[in-house]
Structure 1
Amino acid sequence: MSQSISAQTLLTREMLARRRPGYSLDAPFYLSDTLLKADMEHIFGKHWVFVAVEPQIPEPGDYITVDFGNHSILIVRDDDMQVQAFHNVCRHRGSRLCASHQGQVGNIVCPYHQWTYDLTGKLIHAKHMGADFDPTEMGLKTVHARSLAGLIFICLADEPPEDFEQMVAQMTPYLAPHRLDQCKVATMVDLVEDCNWKLTMENNRECYHCVTNHPELTVSMYEFGFGYTPDVQNAAEQQRFEDITTASHARWEGMGLPSKEIDVLDERITGFRTKRLPLDRLGQSQTMHTGVASKKLLGEFVDPALGGLSFWTQPNSWHHFMSDHIVSFSVLPISATKTLVRTIWCVHKDAVEGVDYKLEDLTAVWNATNAQDRRLVEESQIGIATGAYQPGPYSPYTEGLVEKFCNWYVKRLTALTL
């Protein structure tokens, strides 16, 4: 085992040392099982990872399971309405406790020998174990879980990064008015992409490709909101966007909605970025008609034209909060060349499908965009695997956020493998 770990560390360090700032990563970062193990151990194993939204577990006993790498995590709402997270593994002989992605339980009962745990993970029943057996030592193994205004993050490390609390303090005023805790899940779609998880994230961190590849998305969204810097080729269009943004921010901030950009994507261990962005045309929602998808607005909102609050987190999520609905995305590695992209659409808990919203209207833009992005990242994966690939330069005008993702990734992996 020590030989394997040493080989993994040596390869990781070698690849990290070769990384050229401003350029994409070397091919092994997208192809190597050894480097995926490093990602799972040091990136997904030691950072806060977005996995779910609270409306997925609205009542005591509601649970979901989240799988990535070789981990299976059980997330449950306890009787005090707190979010609990455990390794989805019985303490008796290792059986998986809950096989379904979601469900409802009174207690957590192992299907093998019926060891029974309460919703806080305490072992409360285990028959035939003898007089010397101490159930207090056999509770479920806990996982750190934290909710940020209804977004559930977990951390597998014994000591999770403390700067999560800084993100909570800064982001709660932005997210809280949308009242995700008063929403319900309208639908969830899982998409498996035949690519490395980092290609999925890099693709998300730029809109260089948007105009030519995402006709549905760019009906409402301006490409300039995603890390653009001044470029003589689009100076007039970008200035128009900046003028619209400045006016919109003044209006929204006057309504008590924080809107200005916060960008610490590669400055903190728990990196993130947010900005409330204007939407084009009617400016109400990310729909094909740019009007709201749901007539039942979120929280206390009465004005539907609140743009789209975008929120990106390292290493694996992005979110769009609008006046009428919220879309959350999580990226979870399956293998070195296979990635799960999970998209969750939430609407007001009292919104009625077919009356207040139509599911096709709600999901049309992102279902189309996700399918288009899947094609793009899979073509990149194929090209990288040919052997002809070598790292290429990022655009200084349109791919600054991609560089920040890669810079964060390289810095974190370097710090954790030294």
Structure 2
Amino acid sequence: MLDLPTTPLQQLLRQRLPGHSLPAPFYLSPEVLEADMAHIFGKHWIYVGVEPDVAEAGDVAIFDIGKTSIAVVRDDDGEVRAFHNVCRHRGARLVTDEKTTVGNLVCPYHSWTYNLAGDLIHADHMGPGFKRSCHGLKPVHIRSLEGLLFVCLADEPPVDFDEMARRLGPYIAPHNVRNTKVAFQSDIIEPGNWKLTMENNRECYHCGTNHPELTVPLFAYGFGFSPEEMDEFDRANAERYGCLITKNHAEWEAEGLPSREIDELDTMVTAFRTERLPLDGEGESHTLDTKAACKKLLGDFASAKLGGLSVWTQPNSWHHFLGDHIVTFSVLPLDAERSLLRTKWLVHKDAVEGVDYDLENLTSVWLATNDQDSELVGLCQQGARSPAYEPGPYSPNTEMLVDKFINWYVGRMAEHVGR
């Protein structure tokens, strides 16, 4: 048998130690980032936004994944569609605003005009032999998971999206994402590789010492702990949390709210995890007083005391669904050492700011947490640049989900480039 030459990326993939962080080039190298864009962001279902981003016919929202600009539109029949944001004439970008409302999509360069189904309906001076039907906008695969929007740039997207939707959909559906509006959006440019942002999210090992706001409503115990290393106070709280999980899961599921953990973070191509977790204090929402931030509850809920449904999807999102509002997060690479973290707060579409909710109260916990996490990601990025950096071991008790994220990433890269 011939020994085929290996590429630098294949060599790096072989170097990954199970249960450890990645070799430094995975966080630093422009060549690795280029492979990430081609094989992870170019071939998988990527979370970009929510249906309320395009709530009405004619609404357009632009999402950029690397060099690819995508126009998501709601057409006249109410269907959500996605197209490459590129005119079929000479390639000008069609829509330059992040969000807008249009009757048709009109190129600002030569006024080629497309309807909301992507058909070219007007092009001056092209001669009698020109066929408009051959020059419609190039479509992008798009799926809505109970109002969460995912796109795929591959010619043939992964087919297991349906499996994720079948199992995850019943958890999300009661929160009725489609009947919400975006109350606030925050964009942060984090000073780190996108994988460091995702690794940071996938654990709460760091929460107790870094997130004083977040740990008011959120139990860090829900993300793993080592009981043998805890003092009496922490052991008592961990025991209280365990009792709450058992009691609340039974109650919530009796009310028709699926709650128990599903974990497919490194066992599917379109990988995900979910669980409904108890909240501390009043147990209603991610706020500093743990009470509901919005008076107008979501869906058909009669009470806000429903814990927090946490949802994770690979490679780039996590979400928290409360009884009164929803917080969604997406991460997109900007270059090898910078990432865009986009956070949206959703409330009932009829909720009125200043009457039903106070924006500062709604957003303060996660705005503070995002700033704290951004600084931590930057510290990790600085460390990865050091000649002293070497992959370190993950905690088996608190960093299990980090390990699963890296397992998924390495497995998907190896599937596409070999190992």
Q: How high is the TM-score relative to the length of structure 1?
A: 0.97
Aligned match for 1:166, one of 159, 163, 166: 163
* Counterpart position of 2:291: 291
Q: Compute the displacement of 1:204 (Å).
A: 0.1
Which structure 2 residues correspond to residues 8-47 of structure 1 after superposition, within 5 A? 10-47=7-44
Give the counterpart letter for 1:233 in structure 2. Answer: E
Within 5 A, what are the aligned runs for 1:364-379?
A: 364-379=364-379
1:218 partner SS = coil
Partner of 1:404: helix, strand, or coil? helix
Deviations, residues 129-177 of structure 1 (Å, cap 9, x unaligned): 1111111111111100000010000000001000000011111111111
Q: How does 1:375-386 map to 2 (within 5 A)?
A: 375-386=375-386
Distance 1:83 1:230 in 2: 46
CA distance in 1, matches of 2:50, 2:258: 22
1:231 to 227, 234, 253: 227
For residues 402 and 239 of structure 2, what CA distance do their matches in structure 1 show?
22
Q: From 184, 189, 199, give the equivalent of 1:187.
A: 184
Q: Give the deviation of 1:230 after TM superposition.
A: 5.1
Aligned counterparts, 1:63-102, within 5 A: 63-102=60-99
Q: Which aligned segments of 4 or more residues in structure 1 are displaced greater than 3 angstroms?
A: 234-237
RMSD of aligned alpha carbons: 1.2
Equivalent position of 1:314 in the other structure: 314
- Residue 281 of structure 1: aligned partner: 281
Is residue 2:400 matched to residue 1:411?
A: no
**SS across alignment from 1:66:** strand
Verify: 1:123 aligned to 2:124, yes or no.
no
**The residue matched to 1:56 in structure 2 has which SS?**
helix
Write the letter of the residue equivalent to 1:386: S
Q: Is the 8 A contact 1:230 1:238 kept in 2?
A: no
Alpha-carbon separation, structure 2, partners of 1:386 and 1:102: 41
Q: Percent identity?
A: 58
**Mean Cα deviation higher: 64-73 or 148-157:** 64-73
State the shift of 1:236 in Å: 4.5
Counterpart code for 2:244? I
Q: Determine the C-alpha separation between the residues in 1 that align with 2:119 and 2:288.
A: 49
Amino acid at match of 1:207: C
TM-aligned CA deviation for residue 242 of structure 1: 1.5
Correspondence for 1:55 among 52, 57, 73: 52
Matched, 1:209 2:168: no
C-alpha distance in 1, partners of 2:406/2:42?
18
Superposition deviation, residue 257 in structure 1: 0.3
State the secondary structure of the residue aligned to 1:275: strand
Give the structure 2 partner of residue 258 of structure 1.
Answer: 258
TM-superposed deviation, 1:352: 0.6
Report the Cα offset of residue 237 of structure 1.
3.6
Preserved contact between residue 231 and residue 397 of structure 1 (Cα < 8 Å)? no
Give the AA of the match of 2:214: L
Equivalent-residue separation in structure 2 for 1:356 and 1:11 (angstroms) = 55
Residue of structure 1 aligned with 2:196, choices 194, 199, 211: 199
- Which structure 1 segments of 5+ residues have no match? 1-5
The DSSP-based 3-state class of the residue aligned with 2:300 is: coil
Whole-angstrom distance in 1 between the partners of 2:207 and 2:275: 18
Superposed CA offset, 1:40-88 (max 9, x none):
0000000000001111110001011011211111111111111110111
Given that residues 195 and 381 in structure 1 are in contact (C-alpha distance below 8 angstroms), is that contact kept between their aligned partners in structure 2?
A: yes
One-letter code aligned to 2:325: H
What is the identity, as a one-letter code, of the residue corresponding to 1:312?
W
Q: Distance in 1 between matches of 2:340 and 2:320?
A: 19
**Alignment correspondent of 1:155:** 152
SS in 1 for 2:355: coil
**Greater mean alpha carbon deviation, residues 129-138 or residues 396-405:** 129-138
What whole-Å deviation, never above 9, does each CA across 1:93-138 have from its counterpart, x for those lacking one? Answer: 0100101100001000000000100101111111111111111111
Match of 1:301 in 2: 301
What is the aligned residue count? Answer: 411
SS of corresponding position for 2:186? strand
1:3 maps to none
Q: Work out the CA distance in 1 between the residues paired with 2:263 and 2:164.
A: 11
Residue type of the partner of 1:34? E
1-structure distance, mates of 2:188, 2:262: 30
> 1:244 maps to which residue?
244
Aligned to 2:108: 111
Q: Structure 2, unaligned stretches of length 5 or more?
A: none
Work out whether residues 77 and 83 of structure 1, in 8 Å CA contact, stay in contact via their aligned partners in 2: yes
SS of 1:219's partner is coil
Distance 2:10 2:237 in 1: 43
Tell me the SS of whatever aligns to 2:242. helix
CA contact (8 A) 1:73 1:87 kept: yes
Q: Contact conserved, 1:229 with 1:396, CA < 8 A, in 2?
A: no
Write the deviation string for residues 367-409 of structure 1: whole angstroms up to 9, x where unpaired.
0000000000001101111221100000011000000000000
User: How far apart are 1:229 and its partner, in Å?
Assistant: 5.5
Amino acid at match of 2:142: A
